[in-house]
Structure 1
Amino acid sequence: MAIDLTYEPEVQTLIEKTRNFTRDYVVPLEDRYLGNIADAGGDELRITMQADAKRAGVFAPHAPVEFGGHGLNMSDRAPVFEEAGYSLFGPIALNLAAPDEGNVHMLAHIASPMQREQFLAPLARGELRSAFAMTEPAPGAGSDPSALTTKAVRAEGGWKISGHKWLITGADGAGFFIIMARTSGQPGNRGGATMFLAPADSAGIEVGRHIGTLDKAMIGGHCEVFFDNLFVPDENVLGAVDEGFSYAQVRLGPARMTHVMRWLGAARRAHDIAVLRVAQRAGFGSKLGDLGMVQKMVADNEIDIAATRALLTNACFLLDRGSEAGNETSIAKTYGAEAVFRIVDRAIQMCGGIGVSDDLPLARLSREVRPFRVYDGPSEVHRWAIAKRAVGQAKRAVNNNVHATSQAHA
């Protein structure tokens, strides 16, 4: 049976509108401020760009229609997000940047009707930002979420949360937090976590220092956050108590794919710049693009772009069918994160000295995409998970064959 990879007319129109809006309006803003969202005005610029995105009809392609979005599924999001990602500021302008995009996705699937109105609706409409507070300093939760140390204990009418989080993206200026805290068990236990919703102005929440990182285009920084006897009423428990790790999968798999979508757009921009330059730049008796070593880099970039898209398409297809697609999203995330960095790095190499200067965006694109090999699970952790599944499947097959053989001989 043939697989149809075409998009419905309305999706194709949205792709084209997003491409034009990003390249004509957002890219010049990014270039003016060298990709530093804080220097560009932070939330003030976000509000302006999002108002213009609404007028252009490209705002919130992923958000539920009832809250002003386009309601696209994962497969249809891919080309739209890629076009938005062509500029580092594009995802912010369309309200599909991390962590807000992932939080919209999760709230749309899990939140109660009251939570949808209080938290999802204003987030989807761009009236506020959000933060997802899970990562902790060692020995707390990081690549291994089961190490979670932040605790939530029962109180009259709700819970009290205490703990220390860090590297919390978007924390400075967030309107509310989604907090992962341990409600049962001990650090190292696979279960026992619960997600809580808390307005940022709640007593007991303190946003600490910005932790300096390579990337400068994620609004609100990557911050330390402290919770000190933060009271959260029962109605702000997101999902069921002790099921937080399970619910997190609703967010993490799709969020990994939307990261790939956005940063693939950034990598394509780097590649486009490099190819145009080597097609025009003369050296060694010909255009640089006619030299074999340069052609190899161009071809390798084309291959990495196509392969990343193919893996992304497969993973999104499965997610849209209701599968957790754990293996497929790990494969697409790992390959995509590394491919995106290779693409940008080759683009810099093709452009030579100007490639590492501020005259082109390549150097800042390199800084932005490098952390993706760590964000949303380091490549090594995903490789471990992929291998563990493959070896486990082989072990089960061996055991089943042994059992079948013994039954036949009985």
Structure 2
Amino acid sequence: MTPLDQITGLSDQARDIADRVEHFVRNTVIPMEKDARQDGHGPSDELVDEIRDLARDQGLLTPHIKDDGTPFTHRETTAILIRSGLSTLGMLGLNTSAPDEGNIYLLHKVGSPELKERFLKPMVDGRARSAFFMTEPADWGGAGSDPMMMKTTCKADGNHWVVNGRKTYITGVDGAKVGIVMAKAEEGACMFLVDLPDPAIKIVRKLDTIDSSLPGGHCEIEIDNLRIPADQMLGEPGEGFKYAQVRLAPARLTHCMRWLGACYRSQEIATNYTCRRHAFGKPLIEHEGVGFQLAENRIDLQQAELMTFWCADVLDRGERGTTESSMTKVAVSEALMRVADRCVQVMGGQGVTGDTPVERIFREIRAFRIYDGPTEVHKWSLSKKIQRDWQKMQDSTT
């Protein structure tokens, strides 16, 4: 990681927080990574709550949110979240992980004072996890990368709305206390806040996935006549996609921040291993086949960090950053996949075991290439923009 004193545009407060976050993760969280309260569907809430209590005692819980409830700038958040990502448990224990981080940002931006007090405050305090209900099963023909395919419906019924449908890959819903549900009305997409659990929201199954860092796992859901008070809708009927866009670009970017921190950690572990391990008469790193891979990692990590800060600056200027965040998500996720893969490779057999976090980080990064839009969807969207920009240029010269 770039040393904090070399990063411009950070307030003294943000610089101090980022430094303390790194110290907390390295000295408190990393020693807890072997805790047995974890399985293929993530760490237990008991373990996460224990780390959050430690972070709260240090004044570091939800460190990207200031004491007055406002977030740091995106550039400052980048410096903080990269350091929280040095451990997958660090992201959770510090309350900087998805989907909570993105949901916190959304509610801060668009929630009414009443909704903020009821739903946002417990999330910022680290006492409530949340889930975001948008993706739907493919066998149902529902929304995936194309949200316009959404089939979950909502209909007004007096001073309530009634929601019916199916959702899938809903992260962290098992054990969550706050839900953000997207559904389609005649007016268009709508977004609701709900208390969880709710008997109308049934977990059909918990999916076995390649990643395993988030509590509650990823679940398939059935929603059967879920009644939601009308005042728990964000905005007006038909404005759901508008609010999803508020969350979209920053959430893409914070994924990049956290997993960038994780891959810096993998690089540190792989470097330590290859400098200490000898083969054929010298340390592994002195063999070009190994040393060059770590050199390539260093290049990819630096480029990924620079692009993440670049996109953060775009958002800090008040721009939507849709194109820039799409570009950054593609570039960073692909670069980090190369980094994670090389770390596994240079560590050989050690790299595919659970003896170090390198194997887990590799799996998490593989999933990162898909969520918040697969690389191919982002490239398709970018190519359409290139075509539109070309057409505008042609029209302006004729």
TM-score bracket, shorter-length normalisation? over 0.9
Structure 1 Cα separation of the partners of residues 85 and 38 of structure 2: 12
Structure 2 Cα separation of the partners of residues 54 and 36 of structure 1: 25
Normalised by the length of structure 1, the TM-score is 0.92
The residue aligned with 1:141 is 143
Report the alpha carbon displacement of residue 237 of structure 1 after superposing the two structures with TM. Answer: 0.4
| Higher deviation after alignment, 239-248 or 284-293 | 284-293
Question: Cα–Cα, structure 1 residues 92 and 130, in superposed 2: closer, same or farther, change >3 Å?
Answer: same
Superposition map of 1:22-41 within 5 A: 22-33=25-36, 36=39, 40=43
Report the alpha carbon displacement of residue 35 of structure 1 after superposing the two structures with TM. Answer: 6.3
Q: Deviations over 1:267-289 (max 9, x none)?
A: 11111111112222222232221
Report the alpha carbon displacement of residue 234 of structure 1 after superposing the two structures with TM. Answer: 1.2
Letter in 1 for 2:65: A
Letter in 1 for 2:157: A
Structure 2 Cα separation of the partners of residues 339 and 39 of structure 1: 25
| Contact 1:135–1:165 under 8 Å retained in 2 | yes
Question: Cα–Cα, structure 1 residues 281 and 4, in superposed 2: closer, same or farther, change >3 Å?
Answer: closer
The residue aligned with 1:210 is 206
Question: Cα–Cα, structure 1 residues 33 and 334, in superposed 2: closer, same or farther, change >3 Å?
Answer: farther
Structure 1 Cα separation of the partners of residues 218 and 56 of structure 2: 27
Letter in 1 for 2:52: Q
Report the alpha carbon displacement of residue 158 of structure 1 after superposing the two structures with TM. Answer: 2.1
| Contact 2:297–2:342 under 8 Å retained in 1 | yes
Structure 1 Cα separation of the partners of residues 51 and 209 of structure 2: 24
Q: Deviations over 1:29-76 (max 9, x none)?
A: 113349648675x11112111111011121112335345xx7312110
CA RMSD of aligned residues (A): 1.8
Normalised by the length of structure 2, the TM-score is 0.94
Number of residue pairs matched? 391
The residue aligned with 1:290 is 286
| Contact 2:40–2:208 under 8 Å retained in 1 | no
SS in 1 for 2:34: helix
Pair 1:56-2:73 in alignment: no
| Contact 1:63–1:105 under 8 Å retained in 2 | no
Structure 2 Cα separation of the partners of residues 166 and 392 of structure 1: 33
Q: Deviations over 1:111-165 (max 9, x none)?
A: 0111001100111111111100000012101000000000001101021100010
Percent of residue pairs identical:
37
The residue aligned with 1:100 is 100
Moved over 6 A (4+): none
2:14 to 4, 11, 21: 11
Unaligned runs of 5+ in 2: 1-5
The residue aligned with 1:383 is 379
| Higher deviation after alignment, 27-36 or 287-296 | 27-36
Structure 2 Cα separation of the partners of residues 239 and 39 of structure 1: 33
Q: Deviations over 1:267-325 (max 9, x none)?
A: 11111111112222222232221222222211110111111111111111111111111
Letter in 1 for 2:367: P
* Greater radius of gyration (CA): 1
Pair 1:365-2:358 in alignment: no
Letter in 1 for 2:145: S
Report the alpha carbon displacement of residue 360 of structure 1 after superposing the two structures with TM. Answer: 2.1
